Chains A and B, each alone.
Chain A
Amino acid sequence: MIRQIEIPRNEFIDTLPDPGKVSGFVSPAEDYKQRRLHIAQRIVNDPINTFYFEADDDQMKYFGIRKGSIIVVDKSVKVRSGNIVVCCVDDEWLTRKLCVRNSGTFLCINDSMGACINITGKDITVFGSVTWTCSPHNI
C-alpha cells in the first residue's frame, strides 16, 4: 500500500519552508531527491485503528518498556497468546504479556511463569495488541 505521511515542519526552528528555494541555486542533487524517512511510516500501519498509551512505571522493563514509554496499540491486529497487550483489570490499565495456557490465562511481566498473575475467570478487558513501544532516552 502506498501511503504518504505528512510531516509538519517545526516552524520555530525552521522558519523557511525550503531554504534551497530562496536563492534560485540549482542543486546537483535535484534529480535524485527522495522523500526523507519518518518514524510514523514504520510504527503506524493503520492510523484509523491506532491508539496510544503511556507506561507509568518500569514494571515491564524486561520487555524494554519503561516509565514514559509510548505504547502503540493497533486494534486491527489480532490479539494472540504471547502478545504484549494493553488491558483493563478492575478499573486499572495494564500493559502485560498475555499467556493463554491449558492451565489458564495469565498476565506476565517477564518470561518466567513465577512472575505471572492468573486471571482465569476474572473479568478483564483486552483493549488490543501492542505493536510498538517507543522509549525516551536523552530528552
Chain B
Amino acid sequence: MIALADCNNFYASCERLFRPKYIGVPVVVLSNNDGCVIARSNEAKEIGIVMGAPYFQIKDIIKENNIAVFSSHYTLYGDISARVMTNLARFTPEVEVYSIDECFLNLKGFDNLQDYATEIRTSVVTNTGIPISLGVAPTKVLAKVANKKAKKGNGVMVLDSDEKISKILIDYPVEDLWGIGRQYANKLISMDIKTAEQLRQLPIDWVQKNLTIVGVRMWRELWGESCIPLKLSLDPKKGMCTSRAFGKMTGDYVELQEATASYASRLAMKLRREARCATVLSVRLLTNRFNPSHPQCYPSITVPLAHPVNNTNDIIKAALFGLKKIYLRGYLFQKVEVMATGLIPQNEVQLNIFDKFDGIKYDKLSQIMDKVNMHFGAGTIKIATEGTKQRWTLRRDFLSPEYTTNWDDIIKTK
C-alpha cells in the first residue's frame, strides 16, 4: 500500500504557524514580485479568489474581506517542508518527496493501516504544526484520490478494499485523476467517459485499442495494479537555471549586468552544492509579453565553456559575455535567465590541452565565499558586479520574518 501525505494549504499554513490570528480567516500568498496569487486558504477559496489572480486586480476584494496577504517566503516554506518530510520519513524507510508539500510513503508490510495512518498524521501535525492529510491505497493514482477525499473528511482515508475504491470512484471526475491532463480529459469526456469508475469498468481490450499507454496505465492503477513505482533515487540533473522577474522592468545595461551577474553567481553556488560543473551556459533576456504596447524581443545566446567550471568568477564572466552579445537598446526587459547545461560531475572534469586553465584559484575563492556566506548568511560576500543597490530585486512588500532561520527574527514572548 502507498500513502500520499499532502499538507493542507501549505504556504498559508506556514504563515499561520507563527501568526495564529490568521487561523480561520482568509489568507493568500503571492508569487515572486507580489504578482499573483499562488496559494489560498480554504476561506480565501470560498470567497472566490482564483489561483493565479493578479494581485492588483483583487486589491479591493482583499480589502473588503480582510484577507491576509503574504509575499512568498521560500526560506520559511523550505525549512518547514524539510521538517514535515523528516517527520514523515520516521514512519517508513521508503519515501518519495514529490513536491514541497507532498510525499509518497511506501506502507508495504505495515498492519492496521487506518490506525497507522492516523498516527502518522497526528504526529506530523503535533510536531510541526502543519495540518496534513493522508490517503492510503494500493497505487499512487488511488492514493491521490484517497488524499483528496481525506481532505474533505477527517484527514485520513484508507482504500483497502475493492468496494471502497469503487464507491469513491463512482462520482470522481475523470479530469481530476492524477496524470490526466486537460487535453486527455477532454478526449475521454468526448468518448462519454466522465467518471473514474466509468474508465475503470471499460474492458481492457477496448482500453488498449482506443486509449494510449497513458489510458492503459491509468486503468491498471485504478484496478490497484501499481504502474508508477516510488522513485527512491535521485536522477542527476542535466541542466540548472536561475531566472526570476525583476521588481521593475529595466532597459538599463548596468542594471541588467548586475542582475545577470547575481543570477549567475547563484547558479554557480547551486552547481557547487550539487558538485557539478557546467560545460555550456546560456543567457536569455525577456521583455514582458503581457504588455503588448511595449516592443517585444527575447534575445538569447549559448556560450560554450572551454573548461567545465562551477566557480563564481568564471560563470559570471561567461554570463556577462553572453549578455553583452545579446543586449538590445530600447527595450524594457522584465527577466533574465541564466542556464547551465551539459552538467558533468565535478570530479570528472577533463583538462583541455589547447587551453590554459587558471580557474583553480577561483575555485578556492568560491569555496571560501560559500563558507563565509554559509556562516554569516547569504549575500555577505559577493562579486562587485552583482551591485550593491540591486534596484531590480524582487518586490516583497508582505514578507514575514525568518522565524526559523535567522536568530534576529525569532519571536519575542512576553
Contact = CB atoms under 8 A, between A and B. Distances in A.
Interface of A: 8, 46, 48-49, 51-57, 59, 71, 75-76, 78, 86, 88, 90-95, 125, 127-128
Interface in B95-143: 123, 126-129
Interface string B398-410: 0000011001001
A90 B23 CA distance: 12
Contact of A59 (B21, B82, B83, B414): B414
A53 B413 contact: yes
Contacts of A128: 129
A56 B87 contact: no
B86 A95 contact: no
The residue in A8, A54, A57, A94 that gathers the most chain B C-beta atoms within 10 A of its C-beta is: A54
Contacts of A95: 413-414
Interface of B: 19-21, 23, 82-83, 86-87, 123, 126-129, 375, 403-404, 407, 410-414
Contacts of A55: 412-413
Contact of B20 (A59, A71, A125): A125
A49 B127 contact: yes
Given A8-B375, A48-B86, A49-B83, A92 B411 contact: no
A57 to B, nearest CB: 6
Which 10 A/B pairs are nearest by Cβ-Cβ distance?
A: A125-B20, A56-B412, A93-B413, A91-B21, A49-B127, A95-B413, A88-B20, A76-B127, A48-B86, A52-B410
A8 B123 CA distance: 31
Contact of A49 (B21, B87, B407, B414): B87
Contact of A54 (B21, B129, B412): B412
A46 B412 CA distance: 22
20 contacts: A8-B375, A48-B82, A48-B83, A49-B83, A53-B413, A54-B412, A55-B412, A56-B413, A56-B414, A57-B414, A59-B414, A71-B413, A76-B123, A91-B21, A92-B414, A93-B411, A93-B413, A93-B414, A95-B413, A125-B20
A14 to B, nearest CB: 14
A58 B128 CA distance: 28
Contacts, number: 59
A94 B23 CA distance: 18
B23 A125 contact: yes
Nearest to A67: B412
A30 to B, nearest CB: 29
Contacts of B403: 51
A79 B387 CA distance: 49
A92 B411 CA distance: 10
A84 to B, nearest CB: 11
A94 B82 CA distance: 27
A125 B23 CA distance: 10
A122 B40 CA distance: 27
A125 B128 CA distance: 14
A47 to B, nearest CB: 9
Contacts of A125: 20, 23
A17 to B, nearest CB: 13
Given A52-B407, A127-B129, 19 more contacts: A48-B82, A48-B83, A49-B83, A49-B127, A49-B128, A54-B411, A56-B413, A57-B414, A71-B413, A75-B127, A75-B128, A75-B129, A88-B20, A88-B21, A91-B19, A93-B411, A93-B414, A94-B413, A94-B414
A53 B165 CA distance: 46
A106 B47 CA distance: 36
A92 B375 CA distance: 32
